[in-house]
Amino acid sequence: MLWLDGRLTEGPTPFDLADRGLTLGDGVFDTALALNGRVVFAEAHRSRLAASAAALGFGLDPERIGQAMTALAAAAGEGALAIRTTATRGSGPRGLKPPAEPRPTLFASAAVLGPSLFFAPLRLRPTEIARNETSPASRLKTLGYLDAVLAAGEAAAHGFDEALFCNTRGRVACAGTGNLFALFGDRLVTPPLADGVLAGIVRSELQQLAPGLGLVPEERSLTLPELMGADSVFLTNSLRLVAPVAAIGERAFASAACTAFAGLRDAVRRRIADACGTSP
């Protein structure tokens, strides 16, 4: 199902072949979870997408972003959905220079999710592709995801679920589709945004929830050997929510059996239930 120009459609939709999102990857996107007709953390998602577009130099109305997500969630009704909302700068003249008066394109799509995705363990494979922390795009969900696509293919070919990225300075950045947390005793550590990290919405939720669970949230740089020495490792994103990492390369972790994981999982469940008016 697709939302475009203020309406829902299920048929093929024409697309401008001169759109800069298609020709240059000049755009941003957001992925949100919808449960039983409600978008989880809707305000955070629409605000982040609007801010990401502004960082690229074009404006988006947060209310219109919200309308797209809400319309798709409401039309699907019961169950779980992944809602992807995409914004491009729109069409423009040939060349790299952005048009003086951009006419953004906004559209959104929805796909059914199975409940087995939530909180499920996964295995990460470090990739030799470096995350460029000097690029502003490393802190945005832009349409230029080719590094992540290639790393995901490498990980799958070796029997892993996701890729793990370090940046150009050798610091741990993120997984291909999520933020990373490492538990050292009672300290819940995640890399800072300056290391080429997206400001994930579930990442922010975990940082807020941690103190109530006896954990101390901390942002600091980590080397890969430091990460390998953690007690447990977790991945967060808006669809997996909190995923215990079972392995990084050949190093196994018992993250799913960790007491802290159970506490974080249950706290996120309650937070989502409160946000959506459902039971955990």
- Domains defined along the chain, listed by start: 2-113 (3.30.470.10), 122-276 (3.20.10.10)
The b-or-e profile of 108-140 (16+ CB within 10 A means b, else e) is bbbeebeeeebbebbbbbbbebebebeeebbbb
Q: What is the pLDDT of residues 8-35, one digit of tens each?
A: 988 777 788 899 999 999 999 999 999 9
User: CB-side exposure of 163: number of CA atoms within 13 Å?
Assistant: 22
**pLDDT-above-70 percentage for the chain:** 99
Tell me how far apart the alpha carbons of residues 193 and 216 are, in angstroms, rounded to a whole number.
Answer: 18
Longest dimension (CA), the chain: 56
Instruction: Convert the pLDDT of each residue in 182-225 to its tens digit.
Output: 999 999 999 999 999 999 999 999 999 999 999 999 999 999 99
Q: Is the pTM of this model over 0.85?
A: yes
Tell me the average pLDDT across 42-48: 96
Give the pLDDT confidence score for residue 277 in this predicted structure: 73
Q: What's the CA gap between 228 and 221, in Å, rounded?
A: 14
Query: For residue 240, how many C-alpha atoms fall within 13 Å in the half-sphere facing its CB?
Result: 21
Q: 86-100: per-residue pLDDT in tens?
A: 999 999 888 999 999
Q: pLDDT-based confidence at 280, cuts 50/70/90?
A: low
191 and 172 Cβ atoms separated by less than 8 Å:
yes
